[in-house]
């Protein structure tokens, strides 16, 4: 029993949960926006990886983690714009395009990181946790929750802001219409292509930041394939959020807590569960959550469907 | 008088093989440009690429050997695609099937080679099939997108195999590496000598699989039903097909072929299961199936091409110090260009040009 | 509502002159012209396919014409998107509404009206309340559009069109989905609107609406605007003459026939459909009869046919085919033909070759399968004969069915479904989008089934077709059979009443 308490109710558990949740929050929030506008972005993983890479390059060149984060967002958005050319401009298949981007991002970052960064893992300018005054002095989890990297606060702020944009502004209305019924949007004279482009670029930038949050706030360097499937997890979590940005915060945190649990089980050695099996917990959990969400939720009606003006 | 239609080159444009060849050439050129821009020595890299893929008997064997797993998995992806389903789960299916193969080979140490190999193939077929059919079931009855479920099942399948080789199946005398013991001698597929060349026997099996897939899709009732499902789900339902069952069958077939890839790789090439058993065969196979236009013959050619690319890239890394990961970039560029080549906008453009050509023909004649 | 103010000559609100539009092989508009005065309700009258909707899409900027000029308040304008139409002051209500079903009413209005970045529910709701006060209707701004009835959606579309600064309102067949009460309310609103000096283009194919509402009428036929009349000084006959331009050919040779055994029985069927709920519906089809189902689009016909064809689950009730000793398995026998509503969505696998398409779902029945393997050669040869018998124009049976014209696709579906001499045919709008010759061919085939003592269940939105071949006519409205009629000279009016949901118990059994 003590061991269980030790597992869950500890600052280390909360800290690692929040730390693991940040990249997922950022990427999942971005994907929510893109899917709302009807663009399925399987390339999310590749965009995260690209963002992680360009962030490291940016931070390395400028010596500033902030500029690094911006470079990360730009890297994700750049990859997203290739997706946009293929699926919005040419109306190509969204799934295949996304898969190609994943493949390309893996190959390109691996290749370029060896070219530019070499094989030694150099530590670059990175983010330190930021303590929010007063709040971080709260007892129990205060120092943990309010002593996170800037990405954490940014992820939550962006989820809130994008939620507001999605539900309370003309742009959000256009996004939702583009994902539900692009013909209807076109018939009121709003460009479906332009609408989808904005959503996709937001998604790319958010995914890039998600990647940057791994490279600049967790590992401080770039490692080949360092996102290790987070993008795919985020993709599944989007369905669980039922396409609401704010939910991405909660769902990502819940998933991350399972992930953190897997790590804690290893670290504490309290239960004799093999490493691989505990790593399966979050995957199986995602599958189960998806199973329930798929039955309850209704995806945007035009999701994944290309649209061309006739 | 030559027809205007020909003058516009539209006969060629309509041909899939022309489109694919053009895409491949353009993709390779773009990849070379990328290499040149990033400062690779093409004068050294290109000969290495060629000699490593088709330069000599050894290189050709390597190309064939590299093409075997992606041919099997690619055939599976093709079956799925023809039925309108996307099996991204090749990786997981490979690992699960190879794991099942190791377990069965240790548990049932058959010592008649032919029987042993046949047993292994059946085990791979079933294990991979079940792993993918689960995704088919989730698609058919729970409305879960197979793209996402197979990706998640990839992770789970890999971890399952990884757990086994770190734990119960670990080779105690393996020099400290977390891998399984070598599979028993009778379970191994031989390398065949044909004239001056050598060829992994798995390659022949893959060719047989291609023929079977072709017959299955084109010459059986289930094949027609699967293709109808892929073309138009509603039409399939109207024609009385049991759609949920077909979805499970299609995914099951796709996974079974990937499963065979796993056991053939195990018995014909690597002989033991490790954490690095599949260097992304499941993903390369998607490129193979797409470039092969989801046709059995096309998949065979595409698998040979990507096999050669992989073999050549690793020799490029050895000789010219150009990382092999560039072959991933080349794959990505080719697939991305292919998506554009088969996109709706380009299709529309070609149709419009055809009509224009037909109109011109009409005016001239 | 007084008479329309006489416009000053030479100063039209809108003039469309010599508009041409060509699609692939077909000419949709050939030199159409139209002039609209200020303060008039102008009817655009024509049969299905006459080009009315295309002409209005040109006006709305959805379709760009190949040539022709548009003059708005004496200035030549170019309308290249719905936005420019809106900015001129043209408000559009399409026949099939362009509302986003997953959004609420106020969100749909916000989408089309206003330019501010932030959208305010309360402002829109207030605006909507003003509109409903002026034009009638009760609309909850927070309702999801997908929860509204077809008539309510139509009303929302109308109010949305009126929400901007509109000088010309265009309504495309607005009454086809309205009940009589809703229709009257619409007419009142439009007269009110005209009284304010604004103009309306009212697209319809119903003559009585022209006489009930409109000031002038322009008749379209075959992509041309044939002529324009003052409604006050024209007659039904005159309009029909210019609208049809030919004698209606409803002359089918039909042998008299007796109703035989029951082939299809639908009992107490209830269905939860996407557009319409069917409650407790009964019908039967016997040998030797064509049972026509008349009704306005979206009153449950599609759902009914889907249940009969086995692609939609019924909530309650039973569908029985023939009787037990026929061994009909859920109607999946050679002796039941299903001609689905939408050949693209349900009828054909467009990427597959014709020779496979004409056997879809019937390989086994036709003995083309042994041990699971196809006898491709026999199937191919059989397909050649079938395609010829049904006059499907194609380059070869290897041609993908998607490359055929609509009429030929429909004939390919008929070839598949009717080649086994079925006892029962279930057909929904089989003539939709066909030219007259092809439509006639399809109807002849259905009559032939009846004449060799088969039964036909025939759903059509086109009353002329129903009247031409039915032995019994059922009228469907709001998911119910509103009444049953025998074809006859005076039956049209009764059908019209029943379609509108009138509660008159006409049971001409």
- Cα(B27)–Cα(B332) distance, rounded to whole angstroms? 9
So what's the pLDDT on residue B177? Answer: 84
Per-residue pLDDT tens over the stretch A176-202 = 999 999 999 988 888 999 999 999 999
Q: What residue of C is the nearest CA neighbor of A174?
A: C111
Nearest to B231 among C311, C352, C362 (CB): C352
C311 in contact with chain B, both atoms CB, cutoff 8 A: yes
The pLDDT of residue A55: 96
**Chain B environment of C361 (Cβ under 8 Å):** 238-241
From residue C42, alpha-carbon distances to C47, C201, C209, C212 in Å are 17, 5, 11, 12
Supply the DSSP string of B215-255, one letter for each residue: HHHHHBHHHHHHHHHHH-HHHHHHTT--HHHHHHHHHHHHH
Candidates A188, A193, A297, A308: best to mutate against C (most CBs of C within 10 A) is A188
Q: Which of C81, C101, C117 has its CB closest to that of A189? A: C81
Distance between A79 CA and the closest CA of chain B, angstroms: 12
Instruction: Decide: helix, strand or coil at residue C26.
Output: strand
User: Cβ–Cβ of C110/A171 closer than 8 Å?
Assistant: no
Query: Is there a contact between B152 and A97 if contact means CB atoms under 8 Å apart?
Result: no
Q: Which residue of A has its CA nearest to B86?
A: A95
- Smallest Cα distance from C96 to chain A, Å: 11
Measure the CA–CA gap between B78 and C8, rounded to whole angstroms. 69
For residue B88, is pLDDT > 90? Answer: yes
Q: Give the position of tokens 């189960």.
A: A288
Q: Where are the beta strands (DSSP E) in C215-300?
A: 216-221, 224-230, 262-272, 277-286, 289-294
Buried (b) or exposed (e) across A94-119, using 16+ Cβ within 10 A?
bbbbbbbbbbbbbbbbbbbbeeebee
> Measuring CA to CA, how many Å separate B295 from each of B98, B292, B299, B344?
26, 6, 6, 21
Identify the sign of the CA torsion B85, B86, B92, B98: positive
Q: Which of A169, A177, A180 sits opposite C118 (nearest CB)?
A: A169
pLDDT score recorded for residue C273: 75
Give the residue from B235, B250, B240 showing the smallest Cα distance to C349.
B235
CA C4 to chain centre: 32
pLDDT tops 70 at residue A270: no
Q: Do C100 and A187 touch (CB under 8 A)?
A: no
**What percent of chain A shows pLDDT beyond 90?**
62
Residues, chain C = 509
Rounded CA separation C102/C112 (Å): 16
Task: Say yes or no to pLDDT of B364 above 60.
Answer: no
E strand segments, C24-89: 26-36, 41-45, 67-72, 75-77
Nearest CA in chain A to C90: A188
Confidence band of B311 (pLDDT split at 50, 70, 90): very high
Handedness of CA B165, B171, B174, B180 (dihedral sign): negative
Q: Which residues of chain C approach chain A closer than 8 Å at the C-beta?
A: 60-62, 81-86, 92, 94, 98-103, 107, 110-112, 114-119
Enumerate the residues of chain A whose CB falls inside 8 A of the CB of residue C103: 173, 176-177, 180
pLDDT at C334 over 60: no
How confident is the model at residue C275, as a pLDDT? 65
Q: For A107-116, how does the pLDDT look when each residue is reduced to its tens digit (9 = 90+)?
A: 999 999 988 8
DSSP-assigned states of every residue in C114-183: ---SB--HHHHHHHHHHHHHHH-----TTSBGGGS-HHHHHHHHHHHHHHS--SEEEEESGGGG--HHHH
From chain A, pick out residues whose CB is under 8 angstroms from the CB of C119. 168-170, 173
Which range among B236-250, C308-322, C379-393 shows the weakest confidence by mean pLDDT? C308-322
Q: Tell which residue, C61, C150, C94, C109, has the closest CA to residue A177.
A: C109
C374 lies within 8 A of chain B by CB: yes
Q: Which of C111, C114, C144 to mutate to test the interface with A (most CBs of A within 10 A)?
A: C111
The pLDDT of residue A107: 94
Q: What share of chain C is helix, strand, coil (3-state, %, to 5)?
A: 35, 25, 40
Q: What share of chain A is helix, strand, coil (3-state, %, to 5)?
A: 75, 0, 25
Q: How much is the average pLDDT of A120-145?
A: 71
Q: Are C36 and C203 in contact (CB under 8 A)?
A: no
Identify the pLDDT of residue A115: 84
pLDDT in tens, A48-92: 999 999 999 999 999 999 999 999 999 999 999 999 999 999 999
Chain B contact probe: residue of C335, C360, C365, C383 with most B CBs at under 10 A: C360
- The nearest CA of chain C is from the CA of A147 a distance in Å of 34
Contact B221 C356 (CB under 8 A): no
ipTM: 0.91
Other C-beta atoms closer than 10 Å to the C-beta of B247 total: 26
pLDDT the model gives residue A262? 81
Residue C369 forms beta bridges with which residues?
A: C374
Q: How close, in Å, is residue A169 to chain B by CA atoms? A: 30
Q: List, for residues C443-473, the tens digit of each pLDDT value.
A: 888 999 999 889 999 998 877 788 888 999 9
User: Is the predicted pLDDT of residue C314 greater than 90, yes or no?
Assistant: no
Residue with token string 């190879």: B98
DSSP E strands in C295-384: the ranges are 316-321, 336-339, 369-370, 373-374
Q: Chain C closest CA to B286's CA: distance in Å?
A: 21
CA–CA distance from A258 to each of A7, A23, A247, C153 (Å)? Answer: 11, 15, 17, 46
Query: Smallest Cβ distance to B328: which of A107, A274, A279?
Result: A107
Mutate to test the interface with B, among A283, A293, A297 (most CBs of B within 10 A): A283
Q: Which chains touch A (3 or more CB pairs under 8 A)?
A: B, C
- Compute φ and ψ for C67, nearest 5 degrees: -155, 170
Q: Between chains, do A280 and B325 touch, taking CB under 8 Å as contact?
A: no
Q: Do A189 and C86 touch (CB under 8 A)?
A: yes
**Is C346's CB within 8 Å of B220's CB?**
no
Q: Tell the residue number behind the tokens 């026939």, with chain if given.
A: C257
DSSP string, A224-263: TTTTTTHHHHHHHHHHHTTS-HHHHHHHHHHHHHHHHHHH
Chain C: closest CA distance from residue A191 (Å) = 10
Q: Please indicate if any CB of chain C lies within 8 Å of the CB of A301.
A: yes
Count of CB atoms situated within 10 Å of the CB of C268: 12
Question: Is there a contact between C361 and B355 if contact means CB atoms under 8 Å apart?
Answer: no
CB contact under 8 A, C119 and A173: yes
User: What digits encode the pLDDT tens for the residues C170-213?
Assistant: 998 887 767 667 788 889 989 988 998 899 999 987 777 888 89
Closest approach of chain C CAs to the CA of A233, in angstroms?
Answer: 27
Strand partners, B106: none
Over 90: is that where the pLDDT of B331 sits?
A: yes
Cβ neighbours for C378, distance < 8 A, ≥ 6 positions apart: C368
* CB-based contact, A185 to chain C, within 8 Å: yes
- Chain A residue with minimal CA distance to B342? A92
Contacts of C374 in chain B (CB under 8 A): 219-221, 223-224
Interchain contact, A284 vs B156, CB within 8 Å: yes
Q: Considering only A172-176, C139-143, C205-209, C299-303, which range has the smallest mean pLDDT?
A: C205-209
B352 touches chain C (CB under 8 A): no
Task: Compare CB distances from C340 to B222, B223, B238 and report the shortest one's residue.
Answer: B238
Asked if residue B3 has pLDDT above 50, the reply is no
Distance (Å, whole) CA B27 – CA A100:
12
Q: Which pLDDT value is given to residue C251?
A: 56
- Which of these, B117, B134, B139, lies nearest to B188 by C-alpha position? B117
**Per-residue pLDDT at C44:** 92
B153, closest residue in chain A (CA to CA): A283
CB contact under 8 A, B348 and A239: no
Q: What are the angstrom distances between the C-alpha of C62 and each of A179, A187, B174, B202, C80?
A: 20, 7, 70, 57, 7
The helix, strand and coil proportions of chain B, stated in percent and rounded to the nearest 5, come to 75, 5, 20
C-alpha–C-alpha distance, residues C131 and C29, integer Å = 35
Q: Model-level pTM?
A: 0.88
Q: Give the closest of A91, A239, A283 to B344, CB-based.
A: A91
**In chain B, beta strands by DSSP E:** 191-194, 197-200
Rounded to an integer, the average pLDDT of B329-353 is 90
* pLDDT-above-70 percentage for chain C: 87
Yes or no, beta carbons of C363 and B222 under 8 Å apart: no
Residue corresponding to tokens 């800037």 = A150
Give the pLDDT score at B333.
Answer: 96
In this predicted structure, the answer to whether residue B196 has a pLDDT above a threshold of 90 is no
Asked if A188 reaches chain C (Cβ–Cβ under 8 Å), the answer is yes
Task: Determine the Cα–Cα distance for residues C58 and C79; give it in Å rounded to an integer.
Answer: 8
The beta-carbon neighbor of A280 closest among B156, B166, B286 is B156
CA distance B262 to B277: 9
Tokens of C404: 């055929």
A90–B345: do the CB atoms touch at under 8 Å? Answer: yes
- How far is the C-alpha of A17 from the C-alpha of A127, rounded, in Å? 18
Residues in A touching B338 (Cβ below 8 Å): 96
Residues of chain B with C-beta less than 8 angstroms from the C-beta of A294: 142-145
Percent of chain B whose predicted confidence (pLDDT) is above 70: 94
Q: What is the mean pLDDT of chain C?
A: 83
Mean of pLDDT values over C227-248:
77
Interface contact C338, partner B, CB < 8 A? yes
Higher pLDDT, C414 or C11: C414
The pLDDT value recorded for residue C508 is 36
**Which of the four pLDDT bands, split at 50, 70 and 90, describes residue B72?**
very high
Q: Please state, in angstroms and rounded to a whole number, the distance separating the CA atoms of residues C379 and C377.
A: 5
DSSP string, B276-327: TS-SSHHHHHHHHHHHTTT-HHHHHHHHHHHHHHHHHHHHHHHHH---TTHH
Cβ neighbours of A164 in C, within 8 Å? none
Query: Which residues of chain A does C98 touch, with a Cβ-Cβ cutoff of 8 Å?
Result: 183-184, 187-188
């Amino acid at each position: 029993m003590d061991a269980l308490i030790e597992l869950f109710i500890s600052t280390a558990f909360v800290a690692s949960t929040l730390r693991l949740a940040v990249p997922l929050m950022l990427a999942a929030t971005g994907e929510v926006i893109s899917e709302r506008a009807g663009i399925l972005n399987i390339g999310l993983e590749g965009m995260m990886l690209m963002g992680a890479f360009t962030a490291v390059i940016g931070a390395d060149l400028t010596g500033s983690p902030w500029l690094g984060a911006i470079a990360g967002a730009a890297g994700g958005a750049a990859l997203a714009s290739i997706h946009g050319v293929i699926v919005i401009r040419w109306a190509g298949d969204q799934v295949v395009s996304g898969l190609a981007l994943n493949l390309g991002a893996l190959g390109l970052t691996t290749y370029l990181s060896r070219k530019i960064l070499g094989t030694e893992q150099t530590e670059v300018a990175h983010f330190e946790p930021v303590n929010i005054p007063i709040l971080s002095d709260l007892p129990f989890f205060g120092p943990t929750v309010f002593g996170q990297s800037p990405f954490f606060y940014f992820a939550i702020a962006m989820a809130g802001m994008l939620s507001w944009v999605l539900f309370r502004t003309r742009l959000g209305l256009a996004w939702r219409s583009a994902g539900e019924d692009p013909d209807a949007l076109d018939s009121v004279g709003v460009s479906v292509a332009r609408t989808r482009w904005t959503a996709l670029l937001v998604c790319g930038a958010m995914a890039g930041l998600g990647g940057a949050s791994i490279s600049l706030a967790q590992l401080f360097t770039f490692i080949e394939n360092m996102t290790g499937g987070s993008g795919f997890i985020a993709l599944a979590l989007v369905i669980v959020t039922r396409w609401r940005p704010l939910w991405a915060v909660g769902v990502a945190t819940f998933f991350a807590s399972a992930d953190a649990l897997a790590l804690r089980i290893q670290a504490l050695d309290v239960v004799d569960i093999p490493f691989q099996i505990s790593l399966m917990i979050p995957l199986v959990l995602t599958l189960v959550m998806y199973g329930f969400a798929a039955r309850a939720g209704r995806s945007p009606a035009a999701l994944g469907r290309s649209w061309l003006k006739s | 008088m030559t027809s205007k239609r020909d003058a516009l080159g539209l006969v060629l444009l309509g041909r899939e093989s022309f489109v694919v060849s053009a895409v491949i050439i353009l993709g390779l050129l773009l990849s070379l440009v990328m290499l040149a821009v990033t400062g690779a020595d093409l004068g050294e890299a290109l000969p290495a690429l060629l000699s490593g893929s088709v330069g000599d008997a050894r290189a050709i064997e390597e190309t064939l050997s590299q093409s075997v797993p992606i041919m099997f998995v690619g055939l599976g992806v093709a079956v799925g695609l023809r039925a309108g389903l996307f099996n991204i789960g090749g990786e997981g299916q490979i690992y699960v099937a190879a794991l099942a193969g190791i377990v069965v080979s240790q548990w049932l140490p058959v010592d008649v080679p032919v029987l042993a190999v046949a047993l292994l193939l059946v085990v791979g077929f079933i294990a991979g099939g079940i792993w993918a059919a689960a995704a088919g079931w989730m698609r058919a009855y729970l409305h879960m997108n197979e793209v996402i479920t197979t990706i998640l099942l990839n992770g789970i399948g890999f971890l399952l195999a990884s757990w086994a080789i770190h734990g119960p199946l670990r080779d105690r005398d393996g020099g400290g590496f977390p891998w399984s013991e070598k599979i028993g001698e009778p379970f191994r597929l031989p390398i065949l000598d044909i004239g001056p060349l050598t060829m992994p026997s798995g390659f022949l099996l893959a060719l047989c699989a291609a023929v079977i897939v072709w017959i299955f899709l084109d010459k059986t009732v289930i094949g027609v039903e699967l293709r109808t499902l892929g073309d138009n789900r509603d039409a399939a339902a109207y024609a009385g097909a049991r759609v949920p069952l077909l979805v499970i069958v299609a995914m099951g077939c796709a996974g079974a072929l990937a499963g065979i890839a796993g056991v053939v790789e195990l018995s014909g090439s690597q002989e033991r299961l490790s954490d690095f058993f599949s260097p992304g065969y499941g993903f390369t196979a998607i490129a193979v199936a797409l470039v092969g236009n989801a046709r059995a013959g096309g998949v065979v050619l595409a698998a040979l091409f990507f096999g050669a690319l992989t073999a050549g890239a690793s020799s490029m890394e050895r000789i010219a110090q150009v990382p092999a990961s560039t072959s991933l970039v080349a794959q990505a560029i080719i697939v991305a260009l292919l998506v554009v080549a088969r996109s709706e906008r380009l299709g529309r453009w070609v149709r419009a040009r055809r009509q224009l050509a037909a109109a011109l023909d009409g005016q001239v004649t | 509502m007084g008479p329309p103010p006489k416009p000053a000559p030479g100063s039209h609100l809108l003039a469309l002159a010599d508009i041409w539009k060509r699609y692939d092989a077909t000419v949709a508009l050939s030199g159409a012209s139209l002039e609209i005065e200020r303060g008039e309700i102008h009817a655009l009258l024509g049969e299905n396919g006459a080009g009315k909707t295309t002409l209005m899409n040109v006006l709305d900027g959805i379709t760009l014409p190949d040539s022709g000029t548009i003059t708005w308040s004496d200035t030549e304008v170019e309308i290249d998107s719905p936005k420019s139409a809106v900015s001129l002051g043209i408000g559009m209500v399409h026949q099939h509404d362009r509302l986003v079903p997953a959004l609420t009413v106020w969100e749909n209005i916000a989408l089309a009206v206003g330019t501010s970045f932030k959208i305010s529910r309360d402002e829109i709701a207030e605006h909507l309340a003003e509109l409903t006060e002026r034009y009638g209707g009760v609309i909850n701004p927070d309702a999801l559009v997908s929860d509204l009835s077809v008539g309510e959606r139509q009303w929302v579309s109308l109010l949305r069109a009126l929400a901007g600064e509109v000088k010309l309102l265009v309504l495309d067949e607005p009454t086809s989905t309205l009940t009589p009460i809703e229709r009257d309310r619409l007419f009142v609103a439009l007269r009110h609107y005209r009284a304010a000096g604004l103009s309306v283009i009212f697209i319809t194919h119903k003559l009585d609406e022209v006489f009930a509402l409109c000031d002038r009428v322009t008749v379209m036929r075959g992509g041309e605007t044939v002529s324009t009349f003052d409604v006050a000084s024209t007659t039904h006959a005159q309009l029909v003459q210019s609208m049809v331009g030919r004698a209606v050919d409803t002359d089918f040779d039909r042998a008299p026939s007796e109703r035989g055994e029951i082939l299809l029985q639908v009992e107490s069927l209830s269905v939860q459909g996407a557009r319409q709920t069917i409650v407790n519906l009964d019908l039967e089809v016997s040998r030797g009869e064509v049972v026509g189902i008349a009704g306005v689009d979206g009153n449950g016909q599609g759902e009914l046919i889907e249940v009969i064809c086995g692609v939609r689950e019924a909530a309650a009730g039973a569908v029985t085919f023939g009787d037990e000793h026929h061994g009909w398995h859920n109607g999946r026998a050679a002796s039941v033909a299903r001609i689905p509503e939408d050949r693209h969505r349900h009828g054909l696998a467009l990427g597959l070759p014709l020779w496979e398409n004409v056997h879809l779902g019937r390989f086994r029945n036709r003995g083309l399968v042994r041990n699971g393997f196809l006898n491709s050669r026999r199937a191919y040869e059989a397909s050649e004969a079938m395609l010829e018998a049904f006059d499907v124009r194609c380059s070869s049976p290897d041609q993908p069915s998607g490359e055929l014209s609509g009429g030929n696709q429909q004939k390919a579906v008929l070839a598949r479904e009717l080649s086994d001499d079925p006892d029962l045919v279930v057909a929904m709008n089989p003539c939709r989008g066909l030219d007259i010759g092809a439509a006639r061919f399809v109807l002849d085939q259905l009559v032939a089934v009846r004449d060799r003592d088969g039964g036909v269940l025939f759903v059509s939105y086109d009353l002329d077709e129903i009247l031409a071949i039915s032995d019994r006519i059922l009228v469907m409205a709001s998911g119910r059979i509103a009444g049953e009629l025998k074809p006859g000279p005076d039956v049209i009016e009764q059908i019209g009443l029943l379609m509108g949901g009138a509660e008159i118990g006409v049971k001409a059994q």
